[in-house]
Structures are given as C-alpha cells and as structure tokens.
Amino acid sequence: MTEEWRPAPSAPEPAAVAEPVVVARATALCKTYGVGEARVVALDRVDVAIRAGELTAIMGPSGSGKSTLMHCLAGLDAADGGEVWIGDTEITALRDDELTRLRRDRIGFVFQAFNLVPTLTALENITLPLDIAGRTPEPGWITRVIDAVGLSDRLRHRPGELSGGQQQRVACARALAARPRIVFADEPTGNLDSRAGAEVLDLMRQCVDSFGQTIVMVTHDPVAASYADRVLFLADGRVVDEMTGPTAERVLERMKRAEGTR
Ligand SMILES: Nc1ncnc2c1ncn2[C@@H]1O[C@H](COP(=O)(O)OP(=O)(O)OP(=O)(O)O)[C@@H](O)[C@H]1O
C-alpha cells in the first residue's frame, strides 16, 4: 500500500512533467458555524492539495477561514461536508479513536503559544509525544532534530528558563520528534519579535530543505509567508489565489489588493 496519495496521471506522455506528490488534500470542504442570523460560512467548498516536501503558507484577511481550514486539515475540527485525506487515509471517515492515533503518529503541531509543559525540561518536552505513544525514537533522529533546532546546550532547561524563540524551537523539535508526515504551524511567529521569528522560520525552511519535511503554516505576516514555497490566499472561506516563490513585497501587494476588494 502506498503511503502517498498521487493524483491520477492525466495523459501518458513520456515527456510529461511528474505531478508533485500530495501529502494532504481537501475536496469541497465546508464548515459552518452557528444557525439562523448567527450562521457563518467559514469554509465554502474549499479544494486544496498540500505538496510533499514543501512549506505551504495560508494567508488571508482576518475571518477568511485560515484557522478553520488548518484545523479541518489536521483533524482537530470536523468539517460539515467534503473530504480530507492525509496520505492514503480519508480522515473525515475515521472514528474518533482512529483520528486521535493518526494525529499522534502522523501529524506534528506548532502553536502560536508554544504549548510546552512548564514542569518538564526542553528534552522531556521534545520526547513527550513519543513517550505518550510508547514509541522508541529512531536511533539518531532526536539528536539530528536537536542539532537542527540549535538547543543542545539548553536541553535541561525548563520552558520558563528559555526565551520565546527558544521555546518555539523546542516546540518545533517536539513536532518533528515522531517524524510526522506533515507539520501544521498556526501563527508560529505570532508571539515572537522579528529576530526570534526569523530563527524559527529559518528552522522550518531547514526542516523542509534538509529533512524533506512537509509543513503548512498559517500566518498574517508577509515576511513569514516569503519563506514558503507556495502561498494559498483565502477570502470569505474560499481559496482565491496562490503564489509560488513568494517575496514579502509580492505577498503584501496581494494582501492589499484583497483588502481593497472587501
Ligand atoms: N467557534 C466558532 N463559532 C462561531 N464562529 C466561528 C468559530 N470559529 C470561527 N468562526 C467564524 O468563522 C470564520 C472563519 O474563522 P477563522 O478563525 O477560521 O478565520 P481566520 O482567517 O483564521 O481569522 P484570524 O486571522 O482572525 O485568526 C470567522 O467569521 C469566524 O468568526
């Protein structure tokens, strides 16, 4: 059984460029909150495909559905309609216990507020998901991750003894510890100053380039989005545009245009 979902080849031309491998995809994803006058359509038949080994940024005005999309893609929130696939598993068809296991084994999370356990050391935080799952880390992997996040000399510190940027780098290492298929990062630099934010973004870029990690990041920040391979733009619960090879200037320009049309 293949781990990855691949779109069916469209035409068997020998010279055709290979389709990118897709790690996560959503089709016709719908999510509505509230009823009657309070009804809000947060996602309106969204189709997205997250490519393997890329950093994908999700951008859009406040309320455009970024967090809802990420939560539905990651199985943290249930959609009202449509499908979400992670690899070859349709997560919208899973029972709660199956979904919990899939999230634990195949998905990593990085949150704006770090969400580290304050009483545990940095190292204990990093290995916590593996410990909870009763899994032994792959030999050498945790060391590689710790080297990548540059925290070898801080492993015995508790989160309260680390800077915000260091805490977020611990959170990144925790997300990578189980070698997940995909990492979802929700405003990972939202609580950091620009220097610490740049370190975290450099780290995420390095995880993509060196480990082939697939990462999806929700952000408001055009500079953060410029680290991505591809930016998806949401407006009113729909994907309205995408940009490959973004620069901060082009992303800012696109966001201004979106604001102007609201
Ligand atoms: N639990 C909820 N109950 C009711 N409405 C909700 C809930 N969560 C989100 N919404 C609404 O759904 C829409 C999309 O919200 P979402 O948080 O996904 O947007 P966002 O693009 O992430 O916004 P922001 O950038 O401000 O975080 C918004 O109109 C929001 O008010």
* pLDDT at residue 1, as a whole number: 44
pLDDT tens digits for range 17-76:
677 799 999 999 999 999 999 999 999 999 999 999 999 999 999 999 999 999 999 999
In the reported structure, the alpha carbon of residue 63 is separated from the centroid of ligand 1 by a whole-number distance in angstroms of: 5
Q: What is the C-alpha separation between 89 and 94, in angstroms, rounded?
A: 9
Q: How far is the CA of 220 from the centre of ligand 1 (A)?
A: 14
Q: Going by C-beta distance under 8 Å and a sequence separation of 6 or more, which residues neighbour residue 145?
A: 126, 173, 176, 177
- Three-class SS state of 167: helix
Strands 89-90 and 81-86: antiparallel
Report which residue type is found at 190. G
Task: Specify the pLDDT at position 137.
Answer: 79
For the residues 97-126, what does the mean pLDDT come to?
94
Question: What spacing in Å lies between the alpha carbon of 55 and ligand 1's midpoint?
Answer: 23
Range 235-252 average pLDDT: 96
Identify the residue whose C-alpha is closest to ligand 1 atom 12: 42
Joined tokens for residue 199: 């370190």
Q: Compute the distance from residue 31 Cα to the ligand 1 centre, in Å.
A: 10
| Cβ–Cβ < 8 Å for 115, 171 | yes
ipTM: 0.97
Rounded distance between C-alpha atoms, residue 228 and residue 219, angstroms:
11
CB of 31 closer than 6 angstroms to any ligand 1 atom: no
Q: Is the CB of 64 under 6 A from ligand 1?
A: yes
pLDDT at 13: 57
pLDDT per residue as tens digits for the range 169-203 = 999 999 999 889 999 999 999 999 999 999 999 99
Q: Is the pLDDT of residue 14 over 60?
A: no
User: What domains does the chain contain, in order, with CATH numbers?
Assistant: 22-260 (3.40.50.300)
User: What is the atom index within ligand 1 of the atom nearest the CA of 31?
Assistant: 12
- Check pocket membership of 38 for ligand 1, CB cut-off 6 A: no
Does ligand 1 come within 6 angstroms of the Cβ of 219? Answer: no
